[in-house]
Chains A and B, each alone.
Chain A
Amino acid sequence: MKYQAVIGLEVHVQLKTNTKIFCGCSTQFGASPNSQTCPVCLGLPGALPVLNKKVVEYAIKAGLATNCAISPRSIFARKNYFYPDLPKGYQISQYELPICVKGHLDIDADLGAKRIGITRIHMEEDAGKLVHSDIPGLGSGSGVDLNRACTPLLEIVSEPDIRTADEAVAYLKKLHQIVVYLGICDGNMEEGSFRCDANVSVMRIGSDRFGTRTETKNVNSFRFVKQAIEYEIERQIELIEDGGKVVQETRLFDPNTGETRSMRGKEEAHDYRYFPDPDLVPLVISNDWVEDTRLSLPELPEAKLLRYQSEMGLTPYDAEVLTAVRELAEYFEACLAAGSQPKMAANWIMGEVTRGLNDNGLEIIACPVTPKQLAALLALIEKGTISGKIAKTVFDEMWQNGGEPAKIVEEKGLVQVSDTGEIEKIIDEIMAANMGQVEEYRGGKDKVFGFFVGQVMRASKGKANPAVVNDLLVKKLKG
């Protein structure tokens, strides 16, 4: 490989607020066209935007969670360009003084941990939606739906610190996990709540000058980001090898072909002529505001991951699975709060609970067995009331029909039999019926032991306490 790719990402995060960034219209996805609009988001003359305080709170949270400095003073700017989905002829954004600057995220890269710098995070409004087909009577035009216009976005801009498509995906996944954990974004990539523009260039290894970059717009899945970046790196290298030059341009990723293509057109001649928006007053954020927000942050996945290992003794793999989604971690922690042992709860959540969810296509928040009920079930195992095997039967019953584990155990007569007399009786019967195997065992064939355990468990319908069965079998078989 003679070439090295240089990648920077711009991520647009749609914030999970009730209303738009500068007006009180709902941000609910999927409403009928133009039903969620008002003079402000329609860009009607004389309408005045007023900043949604929640957007500022969410931006501060995102900044703190990505190790940014929060600017004590930031201002909004107008980014001027014409496009039919932008009713005012400018987008309200931030330019010179964004709300957060100079952060970073640490990702797991091929050669260990790697720090990716975050240049800035700024607040801005989204544009409307253009529809080119599927409108009866549309004819040769395009339809414009302004419901999405003025929806709050954070744009999170990374430093050009990323070198491979895999690093880009690792960075994006981490960022995605953080904004979802923070509760500031629903993370739905298909609906466009988290989308990415990738700036890619290549340079000769050893060079200290970046090559000319291209920007691939609006890639909305992790898989597509990987494909788009890999395609773009290869395209640029081939171009240079063939004696050509990379042109600085905006490109579009086509998911059907896995290729990027140039978005040529007049819109390429961007000259945004940013200037401070006179309709919006400066935003001043006090240290108290920042510190109060810091206190309100949930424990972030990275901290959880470490704590699950150091405090609870979980394996790195278990800790990673349990912290991947905030709701799953909360389910796990609710089990612990209800008295479960971490390792046991982890095994059950990653085993039975996850299997049940997958089989039924459910998310953890819709799990029919509550953390308290699961904890109660695990307590029965720990007390020796039921065996782990019977517990799975009880769990299935709880999943299907609900109910408390202790009650199910009692009603179905599943209490574990630890009474030695009762178990001895079963063992005697089984030995009498299988004298051949008894002789084999006594003749030194240890493997037959498992056969007896199986027979006893079956005869007791799984209720015999396995430890007691083992003890008694050893004694009796030895004779």
Chain B
Amino acid sequence: MGHPMKIRAASSNGVTEVKVLMNHVMETGLRKDASGALIPALFITDVTAKLNDAVVLQAQWSQAVSKNPYLSFKVKGGKPGDKVAISWADNSGDSRTDEAVVS
């Protein structure tokens, strides 16, 4: 299920700017714990962004995206009250979708 994301979407002059802060460890698989054992990789691999149920952006990520990933993008269209949905899936099979209303 993961932890909730923070999503902000604001429209101005016909363009909606979306800013997302996800909540994920983004473990590289290169770090060692206190006993010297490798911590297995755990990171978001796929991200999808939708505006009013239409996919506008799809991303594939590696473990080199920072912990608690930040993403921002601009999409034409969208007006106050419209719906933005962001989904991610990680390499463990976990996934999460959060929604926000365009302001």
User: Is the A/B pair a real complex?
Assistant: no
